[in-house]
Chains A and B, each alone.
Chain A
Amino acid sequence: QKEVEQNSGPLSVPEGAIASLNCTYSDRGSQSFFWYRQYSGKSPELIMFIYSNGDKEDGRFTAQLNKASQYVSLLIRDSQPSDSATYLCAVTATTDSWGKLQFGAGTQVVVTP
């Protein structure tokens, strides 16, 4: 079993709609949770991170964390064609390992005009 799991997609989303991405993790000791966006042929870009249960909003993005259920999600509101990319979920296990990110395989999002 992979430690960080994501649906590979592609997730097709109409322009202007909400894209919902999910990520589950196996290590209950996971501390911090990150969402990265990676365009084809580019390096990952940090969207946001969350470490407390609940929601965290940043512009059109909302991260949601539920440690009891061991999942973290990312909502993209008012999806734009420029949001078409692969979204990577990453976790860190302990406060000593902030430099060690464990990544999921990524979910490809395609926003259709």
Chain B
Amino acid sequence: KAGVTQTPRYLIKTRGQQVTLSCSPISGHRSVSWYQQTPGQGLQFLFEYFSETQRNKGNFPGRFSGRQFSNSRSEMNVSTLELGDSALYLCASRLGQEAFFGQGTRLTVV
């Protein structure tokens, strides 16, 4: 059974640019959540999508957005990148109470 797939694995972007990250959940999982992990703040919840609808949103600025497609694949977008957006972005696919994480996308903003 395939796990959660995130692409790309690594990204380097310049301040002011925008970026789109992709997440393909485990087959049959309809819930996808996104998290940001940094050394200083730890793992922080960004948002959750279920059946193409945003169900929850964390305390991040509007530059962070996401969407989910009919096949449950999800994308998140960060516009006007700042140096502080450098982080590991993790996607979690959920069935019931169990959430499984992808390998993450390491974003570096220079």
Contacts and interface: CB of A to CB of B under 8 A. Distances in A.
Interface string B20-51: 00000000000111010000001111001010
Most chain A CB within 10 A, of B43, B56, B90, B94, is at B43
A49 B93 CA distance: 16
Contacts of A101: 33, 35, 43, 45, 92, 99
B43 A49 contact: no
B101 A100 contact: no
Nearest to A86: B42
A105 interface: yes
Contact of B98 (A43, A49, A96): A49
Contacts, number: 59
A28 to B, nearest CB: 19
8 closest Cβ pairs, A-B complex: A99-B48, A103-B43, A43-B101, A100-B56, A99-B33, A105-B42, A99-B31, A44-B101
17 contacts: A32-B97, A34-B99, A36-B101, A43-B90, A43-B102, A44-B90, A46-B99, A49-B98, A51-B97, A92-B97, A96-B55, A99-B55, A99-B94, A100-B33, A101-B33, A102-B45, A103-B42
